[in-house]
A = this chain, B = another copy of it.
C-alpha cells in the first residue's frame, strides 16, 4: 500500500437514530466509508472518513459509459461479539475479474483487505447482532476520469460503504421464468458484477412484479430454454433427491454462496449435478411431481426458497416439504458464517 490508511473520524455518530430491530436491506449507512483514488496510474492513500457525498465532474465516465463494478459481502458478529467475514478473498478476486473485463485497474489485496478490516474496526458497533441481520458491505469501483469519448477513463475511485441490514426478501419468493428479455450476451459481461448488468434487469423485473412475481429467472438469450440465474442469486433445482445448478459461464455470475452450497451439499452426501438444465425438464418434473425444491443462493438473499414459478402463463407451486434442502443448507452455511458451527473449510475470517 502506498502508505498507511488515513482515518478521519466522525464528530458525532448517528447510530442512536437506527432501530436495529427493524432493519431494512441496504438503506441505512454506517458512520464511515473507505475511499481510495486511482490517479496517474497509481492507487493513492486510502482514507476512512465520514460517510458523505462524492463530488464528480459532470463528464466523469461513470455517468456516460457505465464503467463500474461492485461486490456484496457481509460481516457478522458471534455471541462473543467477535467480528467475522465469509470468504472475503473470493470477493476481492471476483472484483478484480470484473475489473479486468471492464478495463478498470486491479485493486491491490492490501487496500481491499486492510481497508475493509480497518473500516469494520472503526464502525464495529454498526454490525448487527440480531438473528438474521448482518452488516452488508458494498465495495465498488467506478470511472471518475472524464471525457465524452467512449473509452476507458484515466482515473477511478474505490469505495467501501456498509449498511446494517435485515432480510433481502420478506418471505418466500415467487419467480417468473423469462421468455423474451435477457440479462447477458454470449461474450458479454454477465459474469462480471458490472453495474450495467443490473439496470438492464429492471424493466423485465418490473413487468414480472406487475404480474405478481418478485424476481425473474433468466434464461439464455438465444433459445430461452436454459435456466441461468436470478437477478442477484444463483439458482438451485432439486429433482427427486438431486440438487442441480447451472454451470457458470461468461453469462452467469460465479456466486460465492453457490460454490459454498455445492461444497456443503456434497459433503452432506447430497447428490449435486452442475449441468445445464432446461425449462422443459423443470416443467416436466413439476408435472410428474419429481420437482421438490427450487431456491436462490446469494450473499444478500442467503438461501431463498422459491414457493412458485411462473412460465408461459402457468404458475407451478413447489411442494411444502419437511426438512427441505434449502433449510438444511441455509442453516449449515449461516452457522459457519456466524460461528455457530465448526468451519472445516477455513471460510470464516475472524477479525482481531
Contact = CB atoms under 8 A, between A and B. Distances in A.
What are the 9 tightest A-B residue pairs by CB atom distance, in nearest-first order?
Answer: A196-B196, A26-B148, A66-B195, A66-B196, A185-B185, A65-B198, A185-B221, A182-B187, A67-B199
Interface residues of A, number: 72
Given A185-B182, A189-B200, A146 B64 contact: no
A253 to B, nearest CB: 12
Contacts of A161: 58-59, 148
Contact of A199 (B65, B159, B186): B65
A184 B187 contact: no
A180 B185 contact: no
A200 B180 contact: no
Given A25-B149, A151-B205, 8 more contacts: A52-B58, A53-B58, A65-B199, A66-B200, A150-B198, A184-B185, A185-B188, A189-B196
A198 B66 contact: yes
A199 B194 contact: yes
29 contacts: A25-B148, A26-B59, A26-B147, A29-B58, A53-B56, A53-B58, A54-B56, A54-B58, A56-B56, A62-B195, A63-B68, A64-B198, A65-B198, A67-B198, A72-B148, A101-B203, A103-B206, A136-B148, A151-B205, A178-B187, A180-B187, A181-B188, A183-B185, A185-B221, A187-B204, A188-B200, A189-B199, A195-B196, A196-B199
Q: In this complex, which of A26, A163, A168 has the most chain B Cβ atoms within 10 angstroms of its Cβ? A: A26
Contacts of A232: 150
A144 to B, nearest CB: 10
A125 interface: no
Nearest to A157: B63
Interface string A214-256: 0000000110000000011000000000000000000000000
Contacts of A163: 59, 148
A197 B100 CA distance: 16
